[in-house]
Structure 1
């Protein structure tokens, strides 16, 4: 059925219902006039063929041809010629003649504009003249009142049916246009989401950008995105909402999710509290480590189209999140030390160049480095095994990270050496950090598992060296800190001769 409908040209399908109805009504009116004026009943033969059979033949011909071009334009020209002939045949009967002329004008103007109207009127007059030469040009415009009323009603119904057909066609075309616009908007949003995964620096930037794009597609709705711990669903790890959501709405949603300790199915509805609409919940199916992603859509109801659209958006968001996390993992692997998790030496070289570049543009901004050496690592490795030594290194890295300021960065410089880069810091500030390391990290005792299966308690022994960009040349900063660190180390060995 769908294939057959597709092969019928649109103009044929549009004109078929009005033609069948209009010609049928005209057949009744002219037939009544034939009876009233006692004309030959043989006239019913051409009347039947043209007004009752012919409309269906045109439709069937286009249907059977299965062609893209329609016979309809030629048929409308033939209509005009025949209607002009019937006007002469009925002796210019008033309302019937007017109806035949009006149908010619209306149909051709709506279908082909003024050019087609001009051609149709020429054929109408040609038919009028041709038939007039055959049957004569008798002028009897009067007709019985019932026939005129029937003709007027038929004309109005024809006009309404024609207008309705074109109205429905325009609605369909507008719906197609709107659907195309919606699809273009959706395609643009999906491209923006994909672009976000390439340019977003962190989860906040990616999710907030995605929610803004969701609002572009559905501006009358609010959105939120939440990450929950897959093992403890009441634990929320991350939450972001579209900018239109007020704080009270956000708190209400988060409280509801905390209480929902089971996996929520797609399309689950969180009932509103009477002052606001509820939220539909959709699960992000792409795995995000050990987290469960939930997209929240504020609405009273969602259509099937809305649900499919949200599914597409959620799939793209899941892909973008997976790409972002993979990029972050690769970046972390490239700039972090595998054992301790602090930054590696390549990152130190890069960051030293960056802070020195800042200082060259603004000499008032100083920075410092604190070089830290772990004393006794070789002894631990030799006596207790390398696993114990690795545990000692990791503990020192954790301690240095814990005592550093928010803007400081800890780097593993070598096997048992660490560097702390203090950005925008004076020498005194770096010395304060060194004192904090002395107080909170150096001398702290820790228990290590040995290769023999036992355990041993060892103190963390460190030596420190500090250098500052205001007192030492940039290219010698690490060298100066290293010299002071070795001096501190030598002092430690002098006071701990038995350890040596």
Structure 2
């Protein structure tokens, strides 16, 4: 069988073919290995370099790339890496600059916001200040108009009531108080504690300035002196309010000056009116006052017949003799002392008048027959006590007077003066006849 096989030419051919195939396979493996060594490995190294560069790893790797093209590609990639690295550095610088610019922009925006806030605040403050200024101007205009009307009202109305009404109208939220030394010297108050005003620290005599301010329950007591042209204090106004603005002080000061002028004028008119109806020697009401009051009582009685009044006529005895013996000083003293006795003897509702010379009169309100009798008995008692008018040098004269009276419940109102006068002269003649003194 072996022999047969060894001698078969087909088998020999198969051997050669198998041997040739093995050689071919080995050669293929060899070529593949060389190809991998010379092509695949350098290409893998190149790919590894690219991957490293893509990851940002730019270290110089000592790889043997074998082929010139690979070296060219490697240099190209390295140059690209340097370019990219430079661009990345430039981008970092640019990014830093952009960040700095962004920060500057944020700061600028913040400053702009702050500026807008400050601008809005300034605009709001200016608007508020302008509103307040307009409000002050409106108040000032209103106050000046009120002062013009006040100048008219105060001339005819009650001064305290007029002033308080005007003050409350000017500052309705404030408390007000006023005292006029020319009137009843009592406080008129509106929204202010009167007990606080009685404290010594409030009194104007304790302060030199015409305006002074005192703290009071979270507010202030603004005190304004009212002075006349002789710089004498004639009153005081107190305002309980918050801190005053300059415009408020100006308006109130103008009001005070106007008020002081009106007060002084009213006091002057009052004094002139008082002088016109007052006897300069005794201080009693004079003949003009007597005529006015008598006419008023007569008219009142005619309207209300139950409102009786009484009238006393008196005459000082011995006035001419006192003047002739001791001079007119004694006569004046005699009249003055007589007037004092008459005032002390009468009721508070009765009015004593000096008609002129040695003549006096007394009008009794609610003076019926009984009231007149009571006063006549009291006057008789004064005459019986024997009073004297004395001069500083010791000279003295006895005070004596004649009396006559009448009442409207006995006589018509228009005749009581005549009846009382006749009774007085009758009493006077009786005195001179009794004493034998010459008139």
TM-score, structure 2 as length reference:
0.65
Q: Evaluate the alpha carbon distance shift between residue 287 and residue 239 of structure 1 in structure 2; reply closer, same or farther with a 3 A threshold.
A: farther
Kept in 1, the 8 Å contact 2:406–2:417? The answer is: yes
Q: Evaluate the alpha carbon distance shift between residue 441 and residue 217 of structure 1 in structure 2; reply closer, same or farther with a 3 A threshold.
A: farther
C-alpha distance in structure 2 between counterparts of 1:381 and 1:289, whole Å: 43
The DSSP-based 3-state class of the residue aligned with 1:339 is coil
- Structure 2, unmatched stretches of 5+, are 1-112
What is the aligned partner in structure 2 of residue 178 from structure 1? 135
Q: Evaluate the alpha carbon distance shift between residue 163 and residue 302 of structure 1 in structure 2; reply closer, same or farther with a 3 A threshold.
A: closer
C-alpha distance in structure 2 between counterparts of 1:280 and 1:162, whole Å: 37
What is the aligned partner in structure 1 of residue 289 from structure 2? 347
- Structure 1, unmatched stretches of 5+, are 1-155, 230-235
What is the aligned partner in structure 2 of residue 244 from structure 1? 191
Of the structure 1 ranges 428-437 and 219-228, higher mean CA displacement relative to structure 2 is found in: 219-228
Alpha-carbon distance, 1:464 to partner: 0.7
What CA RMSD, in Å, does the superposition of the two structures yield over aligned residues?
Answer: 3.9
Q: Do structure 1's residue 293 and structure 2's residue 235 form an aligned pair?
A: yes
Alpha-carbon distance, 1:212 to partner: 2.7
What is the aligned partner in structure 2 of residue 476 from structure 1? 415
1:488 aligned residue (427, 432, 435): 427
Deviation readout 1:240-278 (Å, 9 max, x if unpaired): 232322343343x3x4346x7644313323344xx5744
What is the aligned partner in structure 2 of residue 264 from structure 1? 208
The DSSP-based 3-state class of the residue aligned with 2:155 is helix
Alpha-carbon distance, 1:359 to partner: 1.4
Kept in 2, the 8 Å contact 1:368–1:421? The answer is: yes
Alpha-carbon distance, 1:366 to partner: 0.9
The structure that has the greater radius of gyration is 2
Deviation readout 1:307-362 (Å, 9 max, x if unpaired): 22221111011011101101101111222222222222222222222111111111
Q: Do structure 1's residue 216 and structure 2's residue 169 form an aligned pair?
A: yes
Kept in 2, the 8 Å contact 1:342–1:412? The answer is: yes
Q: Evaluate the alpha carbon distance shift between residue 161 and residue 221 of structure 1 in structure 2; reply closer, same or farther with a 3 A threshold.
A: closer
Of the structure 1 ranges 433-442 and 356-365, higher mean CA displacement relative to structure 2 is found in: 433-442
Q: Do structure 1's residue 225 and structure 2's residue 170 form an aligned pair?
A: no
What is the aligned partner in structure 1 of residue 159 from structure 2? 206
Alpha-carbon distance, 1:213 to partner: 1.4
What is the aligned partner in structure 2 of residue 383 from structure 1? 325
TM-score, structure 1 as length reference:
0.58
What is the aligned partner in structure 1 of residue 79 from structure 2? none
Deviation readout 1:155-211 (Å, 9 max, x if unpaired): x99x999999998897677446523431232123323432344224xxxx4134312
Deviation readout 1:369-417 (Å, 9 max, x if unpaired): 0111111101111011112211211222232223322322222123101
Kept in 2, the 8 Å contact 1:400–1:441? The answer is: no
C-alpha distance in structure 1 between counterparts of 2:255 and 2:383, whole Å: 49
Q: Evaluate the alpha carbon distance shift between residue 290 and residue 434 of structure 1 in structure 2; reply closer, same or farther with a 3 A threshold.
A: farther
Q: Evaluate the alpha carbon distance shift between residue 171 and residue 342 of structure 1 in structure 2; reply closer, same or farther with a 3 A threshold.
A: same
Kept in 2, the 8 Å contact 1:223–1:298? The answer is: yes
Aligned length in residues: 335
Q: Evaluate the alpha carbon distance shift between residue 380 and residue 257 of structure 1 in structure 2; reply closer, same or farther with a 3 A threshold.
A: farther
Q: Do structure 1's residue 395 and structure 2's residue 337 form an aligned pair?
A: yes
What is the aligned partner in structure 1 of residue 405 from structure 2? 466
